[in-house]
């Protein structure tokens, strides 16, 4: 009796193309999506425009066992020179909504945190001014408990809506995220922040906008201007500053290829044009080694080392 041969599984790109509300681009160069301007192509790059599309995308990723990375503004990530396999996704569309009800603000995860902070300050809603220079999406800021000038996201966060890798949706309070210095309990879980609810307070709009401008001037005075970078490379160790330790080791200005430790800030690596991820990683390893040997302090990356870069960093420990 003849049998029907088993149907070959669909290619991931075919499965992704079937999802409404998902825009998929193959071989998208990731350097375009990173403030470092470094990185090869993503196998598939997906712009997710609806909650339904996100649910379907996660189901396909699980079903086909495809590597998956969710991306914010790309301001604190280093992509490998060879790119990444699987799907790199960014939220957009419905995830860019902003709703204001009194002093309570609901912000979609795709929104730019600096733009949200300035928008709200102009309306006399204050509490986010210190974070108006922090280059992150709302979702990324919640995920890592972004902080700057004495303010952290947890100070104004009432709750966050999450989607787990299995597609389960849930809402948590700020305390349930167990926020710490530049991290929450979402780290390395694959859980996606899709919405944040902030509880702000009424204040003077002109004064809030003036404070934003003052803090942004202070921020940019300490950072290299006009050159690609990802901000702070390492977290500050307890009671000290990573930049001070690197500077004390005499490493400011050290270069590998077109990557250089900024002469202006010891905790920033700049791409002077054409730098490769391997160049940046080599500098990071040298910074870690020098600080460890001189101060017995272990520097911990603040920048996300995507794909094989993370494996190389850990293997060199």
Which of 292, 298, 308, 231 has the alpha carbon at shortest distance from 265?
231
Catalytic site residue from 129, 152, 195, 302: 302
**281 phi-psi bin (left φ>0, alpha ψ -120 to 50, beta other):** alpha
At 316, list the tokens.
């060199």
Helix axes 205-221, 113-122, angle to 10 degrees: 150
Residue 152: active-site member: no
DSSP string, 151-180: EEGGGTEEEEEEE-TTS-EEEEETGGG--B
Residue 34: active-site member: no
Catalytic site residue from 118, 232, 262, 276: 232
Given a contact cutoff of 8 angstroms between Cβ atoms, the answer to whether 58 and 163 are in contact is yes
Give the list of residues 6+ apart from residue 111 with CB closer than 8 angstroms, or none: 95, 96, 98, 137, 138
Give the list of residues 6+ apart from residue 234 with CB closer than 8 angstroms, or none: 242, 267, 284, 287, 288, 299, 300, 301, 302
* CA–CA dist 46, 180 (Å, integer): 30
Catalytic site residue from 182, 219, 244, 312: 182
Residue 232: active-site member: yes
Buried b (16+ CB within 10 A) or exposed e, 191-207: bbbbbbbbebeebeeee
Residues that are catalytic: 182, 232, 302
């Amino acid at each position: 009796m003849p049998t029907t041969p088993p149907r070959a599984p669909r290619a991931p790109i075919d499965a992704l193309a079937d999802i409404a509300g998902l825009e998929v681009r193959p071989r998208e160069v990731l350097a375009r999506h990173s403030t470092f301007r470094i990185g090869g192509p993503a196998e598939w790059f997906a712009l997710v425009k609806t909650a339904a599309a996100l649910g379907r995308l996660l189901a396909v990723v699980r079903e086909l066992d495809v590597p998956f990375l969710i991306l914010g503004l790309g301001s604190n990530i280093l992509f490998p020179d060879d790119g990444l396999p699987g799907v790199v996704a960014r939220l957009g569309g419905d995830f860019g909504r902003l709703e204001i009800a009194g002093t309570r603000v609901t912000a979609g995860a795709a929104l730019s945190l600096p733009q949200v902070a300035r928008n709200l300050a102009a309306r006399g809603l204050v509490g986010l001014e210190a974070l108006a220079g922090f280059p992150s999406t709302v979702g990324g800021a919640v995920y890592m408990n972004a902080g700057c000038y004495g303010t952290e996201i947890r100070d104004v966060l009432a709750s966050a809506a999450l989607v787990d890798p299995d597609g389960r949706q849930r809402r948590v309070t700020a305390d349930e995220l167990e926020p710490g210095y530049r991290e929450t309990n979402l780290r390395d879980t694959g859980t996606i922040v899709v919405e944040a609810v902030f509880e702000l307070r009424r204040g003077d709009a002109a004064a809030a906008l003036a404070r934003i401008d003052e803090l942004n001037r202070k921020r940019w005075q300490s950072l290299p201007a006009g050159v690609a970078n990802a901000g702070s490379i390492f977290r500050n160790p307890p009671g000290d500053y990573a930049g001070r330790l690197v500077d004390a080791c005499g490493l400011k200005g050290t270069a590998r290829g077109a990557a250089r430790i900024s002469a202006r800030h010891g905790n920033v690596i700049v791409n002077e044009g054409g730098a490769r991820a391997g160049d940046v990683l080599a500098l990071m390893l040298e910074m870690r080694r020098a600080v460890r040997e001189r101060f017995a302090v272990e520097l911990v990356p603040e920048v996300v080392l995507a794909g094989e870069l993370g494996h190389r960093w850990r293997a060199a420990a």
